[in-house]
Chain A
Amino acid sequence: MSDNTYGDRLAIREALQQFGRLNQAVSDLSDEADLFAAGFTSHATVNVMLAIEDALGIEFPDELLNRSTFVSIDALAHAVGMSRGER
């Protein structure tokens, strides 16, 4: 796990709160919770992606732009790490 992970998760939660159009408060969701079960849609993923990229100054590579990247806060945090070239 990288040192960025706490900040990453905050930024991810902030992006989800603002643009995720979920049917429950992000603060009620665990890092492992299925976001699509909480009302996340593929249309909403676009703005969440852009907001995370903007907040963290990264760009998700094309190969990470699939449903599994957006399935949970954990998955998004992992994808952020991958985008920075971390494993």
Chain B
Amino acid sequence: MSERFAARAAAVAAVAAKYADEVDSNARPPLEAVQALKEQRLLSVSVPTRHGGEGASMLELSQIATTIGAADANAGMVFAMHHSQALILWRHGTKAGVRRTMRQVLEEEWLLGSATTERGIGGDARRSNCAFTYPSPGRVKVVKDAPVISYAEAADAILVTGRMNAEAPASDQRMLICPKGDYQLRKTGTWQALGLRGTASDSFILSAETSEDMLLDDDYGTISAHTALPTAHLLWSSVWLGIASAAVDQARSTVRRQARSSVGFPPPGQIRLAELMIDLQSFADSVRHQAEHFDRISDDPDALGSISFAMAMNAIKVTSANAVVDLVMKALRIVGIAGYRTDTPQSLSRQIRDALGAPIQINNDRLLTNNSPLSLMAKVDL
């Protein structure tokens, strides 16, 4: 890991690890880890240097996400989701209200959430039912029935998608920053899931009215293709890599303990461990490689809009989601009954349950469906 943020990421990971089981069993947000992220100034870390920030690259964000994700996937996911929203501000916004929000992220370590999916659109974030309306000059309003807004009640602002106006088709979307104080949330459902229980991905009806200069410049199709989708897929993958590495660490320490009791006679799990560590290495290589891919083209609209890039960003999500499930299950076989139990220090209960969400949240099959026509039009970028 690059040294620039290693110590700060480790400090957050230490806090996240301490509360991880409590966050999981109570299905509540990792508030202590969020506080640590703020104290370590890791919520503003992606602010470009030209705006006075530290300009963390996607590779660096990926490494931080993995470190935190290995300690607590919930805290890792908050970090990941926040930065995929924060990057939208610098990359797609110039209006006064957006710039004000940028300063609030930079100076006050604001935590950004998002409300993209909506009831009645079948899980497709690139379509909206709700529309922005303009009640008076300079003001914009929206009401959204959102099945999921992660850590909504801990966020300082929520980025909301909606149709550009009441006449616009479902796919003609814009994105609005709703700062705290300018919206109300009415909870319509609570997040009780098998894993990632601490993301607090509750359901809400969000009603917001704010100033029109809180709208991002670009249409959401562009924001999604150039920033929201690739950065989300890369950073989620980085968190999953963290989950996998935590499970592999547990497997490694199990085999080492077994090897110690019969030195010179390697335990049967040792060859499985060797195999597992190769899998982890190639998982890490693909995530970091695609993070660097994003860094290389992040200011090139043609490359960001290309079919091969869209396919690559879906591919990394699908690959990583499958890999994390595969790796934690293989780690479980090595760790054995102590990993299967929920009351042991070697328990893999959280890692297994957290990993199982990966192929489902943004279903792999949806991404494969999106990729299937593209696959006729572009070769894999090797």
Bound form: Cα–Cα A59–B254 in Å: 12
Identify which of A18, A19, A50 gathers the most chain B CB atoms within 10 Å of its CB.
A50
Interface residue B264 (Cβ < 8 Å from any Cβ of A)? yes
| Residues in chain B near residue A59, CB distance under 8 A | 253, 256
Q: Which of B209-240 contact A (CB under 8 A)?
A: none
Bound form: Cα–Cα A50–B264 in Å: 9
Interface residue B261 (Cβ < 8 Å from any Cβ of A)? yes
B256 and A51: CB pair below 8 A? no
Query: Is the contact region of chain A dominated by helix, strand, or loop, or is it mixed?
Result: helix
A54 and B261: CB pair below 8 A? yes
| Residues in chain B near residue A18, CB distance under 8 A | 263
A11 to chain B, nearest CB (A): 13
For B264, the closest partner residue in chain A by CB is A47
The interface size bin for chain B is under 10
B256 and A47: CB pair below 8 A? no
- The 0/1 profile, CB within 8 Å of B marked 1, for residues 51-87 of chain A is 1011000010000000000000000000000000000
B263 and A19: CB pair below 8 A? yes
A18 to chain B, nearest CB (A): 8
Bound form: Cα–Cα A54–B263 in Å: 9
Bound form: Cα–Cα A50–B256 in Å: 8
| Residues in chain A near residue B253, CB distance under 8 A | 59
A81 to chain B, nearest CB (A): 19
Identify which of B253, B259, B263 gathers the most chain A CB atoms within 10 Å of its CB.
B263
Q: Which of B234-285 contact A (CB under 8 A)?
A: 253, 256, 259-261, 263-264
Q: Which of A1-36 contact B (CB under 8 A)?
A: 18-19
A54 and B260: CB pair below 8 A? yes
For B253, the closest partner residue in chain A by CB is A59
Bound form: Cα–Cα A47–B259 in Å: 9
B345 to chain A, nearest CB (A): 13
| Residues in chain B near residue A19, CB distance under 8 A | 263-264
For A51, the closest partner residue in chain B by CB is B263
Bound form: Cα–Cα A50–B253 in Å: 12
Bound form: Cα–Cα A24–B261 in Å: 26
For A48, the closest partner residue in chain B by CB is B263
For A60, the closest partner residue in chain B by CB is B256
Q: Which of B85-113 contact A (CB under 8 A)?
A: none
A50 to chain B, nearest CB (A): 5
Bound form: Cα–Cα A51–B264 in Å: 9
A26 to chain B, nearest CB (A): 16
B61 to chain A, nearest CB (A): 24
| Residues in chain A near residue B260, CB distance under 8 A | 50-51, 53-54
A61 to chain B, nearest CB (A): 11
Interface residues of A (CB under 8 A from B): 18-19, 47, 50-51, 53-54, 59
Interface residues of B (CB under 8 A from A): 253, 256, 259-261, 263-264
Selected A-B contacts with CB under 8 Å, 18 pairs: A18-B263, A19-B263, A19-B264, A47-B263, A47-B264, A50-B256, A50-B259, A50-B260, A50-B263, A51-B260, A51-B263, A53-B256, A53-B260, A54-B260, A54-B261, A54-B263, A59-B253, A59-B256
The 3 closest A-B pairs by CB, nearest first: A54-B260, A50-B263, A50-B260
- Other contacts beyond A51-B260, A53-B260, A54-B261: 13, CB < 8 A: A18-B263, A19-B263, A19-B264, A47-B263, A47-B264, A50-B256, A50-B260, A50-B263, A51-B263, A53-B256, A54-B260, A54-B263, A59-B253
